[in-house]
Amino acid sequence: MNANTPRPHPADTDRSTSELLSGTARDLPSGRHEFHKERLMAQIHDMQRAERTATPAPARKRRLRLPRPAVTLPLMAVAVAAAVVAGVWQSGSGGVRESGVATGPALTTKIGTATTKGVPQLMDRISLAAADTSHPDVKPGQFIYIESKSADSFVKTVGDESSLASHALHTRQVWKSADGTEGWLIDPAVNDSPEGETLSLPDEQGNTPEATLNGPSFDYLAKLTTDPDELLAKIYKETEGMGNTPDQQAFTTIGDLLIESYPPADLYPALFKAASKIPGVVVVDDAVDAAGRHGIAVARLDETSGEREEWIFDRKTHVFLGERSVQVRKGTGEDALITPGTVLFTNAIMKRAVVDGMKQTPSQAG
């Protein structure tokens, strides 16, 4: 795919989507389309980043920022999920995503002031706080439980007209085994059932992808080096060719690990120390996570997209609260709809724990 590939007309998208679904949807067991969509979204997220590594197009590519496990899908599943995703952003019923999450006006915020002053000192305090954070090992049969709140803004297309809208704040719960082969997801943005559905492997086609930096398991993270220089070098190497620039991709990769993984105790501070070595990192004086908690942020501006990724920390304890992506530069063409101050994605970590069973919450564990 090329970054200069023209956007399909909504009518063409709907037609091709319908044809693709009619030919492949019947091949999947009932109730599995959302499962494949959930898994494919992460791949599309990475493909969109990869597209931007070619000759940059004037128009900015919309980036999906909902945290998702990145895994490999069989070709047939990719075709079905791609059709579903095409209908997610441009649908014949008004362009609203087909999910249980309500839509509303675009999310906006006051753009915080950014400075390079004090970055090393803040990162040192964050690393020390991370080193003091209790991160128990995950034993066989146990699961990492992460509960978060998230919302996002998106371009909604109805016929030939586009406007900016948002998906309302909602709760996401995910369980993952230490080796990443067992999991469960409850998220109204990606599955219709309030009970959620499995993320366990292998899938119907027998695929069990290996863990990577963009789709890690606890066991995978436990084997990573904790030397900040070596860790950063590995991140640059394994994400080569992704994102708009190597530096931005390295920053994004570390940010993704903070949201929906449980880095082992030794690795957690090493991630922050590695991030402090990425050029262009700044401090934002005030940022708000999805739960409304104010904090100080470590951030980096993507010069190509004009989007600033912000990691938000408690101002006193320096504990990680969540992440958000804010548009700070006005785009051109259709992307001009995404004006400065638009919150493209916001997330807040509410609970992160180790539990003894799938779908068990910390309160149930006593």
Does residue 146 carry a pLDDT above 50?
A: yes
Beta carbons within 8 Å of 132's beta carbon, 6+ residues apart: none
- pLDDT at residue 3 tops 70: no
Name the β-bridge partners of 103: 167
- List, for residues 326-353, the tens digit of each pLDDT value: 999 987 776 789 999 999 999 999 999 9
For the stretch 179-230, pLDDT in tens is 999 999 999 988 888 999 999 988 778 888 889 999 999 999 999 999 999 9
Distances (CA, A) of 84 to 19, 22, 50, 88, 224: 12, 11, 21, 6, 35
Alpha carbons 337 and 60: distance in angstroms, whole number = 11
DSSP secondary structure of 102-168: -EEEPPB-PPPPEESTTHHHHHHHHHHHHHHS--PPPPTT-EEEEEEEEEEEEEEEETTEEEEEEEE
Kindly state the percentage of the chain with pLDDT values over 70. 72
Contact 321, 82 (CB under 8 A): no
CA dist., res. 264 & res. 138, Å (int): 9
User: Torsion angle, CA of 325/328/333/334, rounded to 10 degrees?
Assistant: 30
pLDDT of residue 99: 60
pLDDT tier, 366 (very low <50, low <70, confident <90, very high otherwise): low
Residue 359: both structure tokens together = 């779908």
Which residues, at least 6 apart from 317, have a Cβ–Cβ distance to it below 8 Å? 129
pLDDT band at 315 (very low <50, low <70, confident <90, very high): very high
Q: What is the mean pLDDT of the chain?
A: 78
Does the pLDDT of residue 107 top 70, yes or no?
Answer: yes
Please state the separation of Cα 320 from the chain's center in Å: 16
- Which is more confident, 73 or 323? 323
pLDDT of residue 35: 36
The total of other beta-carbon atoms located within 10 Å of residue 249's CB is 26
Tell me the whole-structure pTM to 2 decimals: 0.76
Beta bridge partners of 261: none
Spatial separation of the C-alpha atoms in residues 142 and 131, rounded to whole Å:
23
Residue in this structure with the two tokens 């795919």, named with its chain if needed:
1
pLDDT at position 137 is 86
At 257-307, the pLDDT tens digits run 999 899 999 999 999 999 999 999 999 999 999 999 999 999 999 999 999
* CA dist., res. 261 & res. 352, Å (int): 9
Tens digit of each residue's pLDDT (9 = 90 or more) over 14-69: 333 333 333 333 333 333 333 344 444 444 444 444 444 443 433 334 444 444 33
In tens, the pLDDT along 122-145 reads: 999 999 999 988 888 899 899 999
155 has a pLDDT exceeding 60: yes
Residue 344: phi and psi, rounded to 5, are -75, -35
* Predicted local distance difference test score (pLDDT) of residue 329: 94
